[in-house]
Structure 1
Amino acid sequence: AAPWQAVCAALGFLLVGAAVYDIACQALGRTKDGQIGNDGRVMVVVAAFVVFESWLACHLFAGRAAFLIVGATLATMMTANVAHWIIPGQRKVIAQMRAGEKPDPIHGQRGKQRSVHNTYFGLPVLVAMLSNHYGMLHQHPHNWVVLCVLMAAGVAIRIFFVKRHKGVNSWGAVALALALLAGLIAWMAPRPQPAVAVVAPVTLESVQAIAAQRCLMCHTGEVAQKGVRLDSAEGMTSHKAQIYQQVVVQRAMPLNNATGLTDEERSVIGRWALQK
């Protein structure tokens, strides 16, 4: 896709997400007597939408971009809450009080509702926006599941702290967060590789040939990213451990696999890095 198409698609995620959330709040976030409430129904709809959006984003964009887009969508919801409901509601209440009128309680109720939602959105946004530092997360084959589990753990952690501020220790929320994180770690942990038939050693020259085609545009001379130069035998050897981690284990490099490094080439690099 052309860059402008990707930009438009990303903006579409933000706008649609904010619209779905706001519609859910207004359509489902009221009790039978018209008061603001029923947050449980609202959050179920929002959670289902976020799961769907995570899946869709991870299928349309590279993992790094998809995580950022999902985080930005939640952040857009939070910003819209403040800009369109919380602050305007406060201004209306102040204006009514100055005019000697009785403030309409709906503004306070709605402001509280949106503020509470923002509280629970906070950690999921943080997880999504910081994920680009951890290739093992956004490069996972089921990265959308990884993102959803991490965000769910963030919500559980936030529930604990919200209740703790009210004098209640919700250890169930802590247990849920720990269970989600422990399960995710166990699921993502590298598995022992099966024994393979003895093959000829991989030569440094063959790995250098791969690097010349896939890596040197960013890792050569003065433009070498993070000072990692791969344009010499010494550079390849001295950075062997980093190459193995970034290319084979985390599959984070090349960035977004922009140069089209194949699985076979990753396998060759891995064998070279591990051989004695």
Structure 2
Amino acid sequence: MYEYAIAWDWLTFAVRWLHVITGIAWIGSSFYFVALDLGLRQRSGMPVGAYGEEWQVHGGGFYHIQKYLVAPENMPEHLIWFKWESYVTWLSGFGMLALVYYAGADLYLIDPSVLDVSKPTAIAISLASLGFGWLAYDTICRSPLGNDNTRLMVLLYFILVAVAWGYTQLFTGRAAYLHLGAFTATIMSANVFFIIIPNQKKVVADLIAGRTPDPALGKQAKQRSTHNNYLTLPVLFLMLSNHYPLAFGTQYNWIIASLVFLMGVTIRHWFNTQHARKGAPTWTWLVTVLLFIVIMWLSTVPKVLTEGGEARAATAEQAVVAAADFSKVRDTVLGRCSMCHAREPGWEGIVVPPKGVVLESDGDIVEHAREIYLQAGRSHAMPPANVTGITEEERQVLASWYETAVKEGTIQ
């Protein structure tokens, strides 16, 4: 059993490493080609069919790059297709989804207080949502709505907002963010697999056969490539968010995710405008900072406590009482956290305390007070899927104790 746990942990590490490597390759090539495409210059005397060119220097050498809107007069013998970066990124990401969230569904995927379903049902919902996302997106893009890019982008944004809210009604906060990222990444990779690469291959085949390529193929591929360009940064945020409970473990997590998509647009707009040599719109950074400040505020808005189905707010007096009573903090941590965070964990499948954090004594609790506050007090990140049934009142005890201790200077 012990050896199995170690092997499984290393397997997830290997797949995660592969996912990071291929993700860097895909995003890097995407950023490079967008910047290159926007920065092309036109001049007289260029080869027939050439649209623009760019001189670049890197690694001690000079590169002269030319772009053809259709193709050069003579097709080259060798073409490099930038596609496997996308495919392997998605495959390795799905592997991580299966190894972590499907295999550990009771811990990471299912929160009975959100939606009490069986493991197979939760996994089926996950798979169906990813497939449905691509089919719905592709259908909308091919419809008359897809003829107006601005209108299409606005519509797709509101759909993403709805999806963000929907995932928080199905899974744990951590899984909701991961699925929103997977939902978006599936669309991006499917754009490459089903649209961009096939359309380019059709163009190449037509040229080799001496036929005139259909210009609609290039237009469609360009539209999907533009969508991928603006979705990249939000996907990165969502995939990294499981390390930051203040993002996914709060009551307004779906609004935070929605604002992150807007931040992705403002940041990419600045880079795209600069690469196109149309200036540097500094207002985009101001908007981005303001959006981030709003996100920070949303992550710490006081929660509403529920008991017996009726909502009620914790009073300041109750918070002071809780903060003054360390015994309640100790009882909460030992009763809700220590079965995993122990030198010899008692939770099945966990052989070492997660991240090496041990919470068995008063000293342990004080040493990790900040992590307890962020992970279990201010957010719902811990316990995963609330498997130990920690209550909102207990979370408030942890939060109030830490905040009071910091104000009094007993904890730095």
The letter of the residue matching 1:196 is: E
The letter of the residue matching 1:217 is: M
% identity of equivalent residues: 37
Post-superposition offset of 1:184: 2.7
Q: Is the 8 A contact 2:173 2:380 kept in 1?
A: no
Find the aligned partners of 1:76 and 1:242 in 2 and give their Cα distance: 33
1:20-99 pair list within 5 angstroms: 20-28=136-144, 37-99=147-209
Residue in 2 aligned with 1:202? 325
Q: 1:214 to 1:195 in 2, by over 3 A?
A: closer
Find the aligned partners of 1:163 and 1:90 in 2 and give their Cα distance: 26
Find the aligned partners of 1:199 and 1:83 in 2 and give their Cα distance: 59
Structure with more of its chain in strand, by fraction: 2
Residue in 2 aligned with 1:12? 128
The letter of the residue matching 1:242 is: E
Task: Tell me whether 1:248 sits opposite 2:359 in the alignment.
Answer: no
Match of 1:215 among 332, 337, 360: 337
The letter of the residue matching 1:202 is: D
Q: Is the 8 A contact 2:253 2:299 kept in 1?
A: no
Q: 5+ unaligned residues in a row in structure 1: which ranges?
A: 31-36
Find the aligned partners of 1:199 and 1:82 in 2 and give their Cα distance: 57
Q: 1:199 to 1:53 in 2, by over 3 A?
A: closer
Q: Is the 8 A contact 1:28 1:41 kept in 2?
A: no
Residue in 1 aligned with 2:227? 117
Find the aligned partners of 1:68 and 1:136 in 2 and give their Cα distance: 14
Task: Tell me whether 1:239 sits opposite 2:368 in the alignment.
Answer: yes
Find the aligned partners of 1:239 and 1:181 in 2 and give their Cα distance: 27
**229-238 or 143-152, which moves further after superposition?**
229-238
**Helix, strand or coil for the counterpart of 2:317?**
coil
Find the aligned partners of 2:275 and 2:264 in 1 and give their Cα distance: 17
What is the TM-score normalised by the length of structure 2?
Answer: 0.60
Structure with more of its chain in helix, by fraction: 1
Find the aligned partners of 1:28 and 1:108 in 2 and give their Cα distance: 18
Post-superposition offset of 1:265: 1.9
Post-superposition offset of 1:239: 2.5
Match of 1:108 among 210, 218, 232: 218
**Helix, strand or coil for the counterpart of 2:169?**
helix
**13-22 or 221-230, which moves further after superposition?**
221-230
Q: 1:219 to 1:148 in 2, by over 3 A?
A: same
Residue in 1 aligned with 2:353? 224
Aligned Cα root-mean-square deviation (Å): 2.4
What is the TM-score normalised by the length of structure 1?
Answer: 0.87
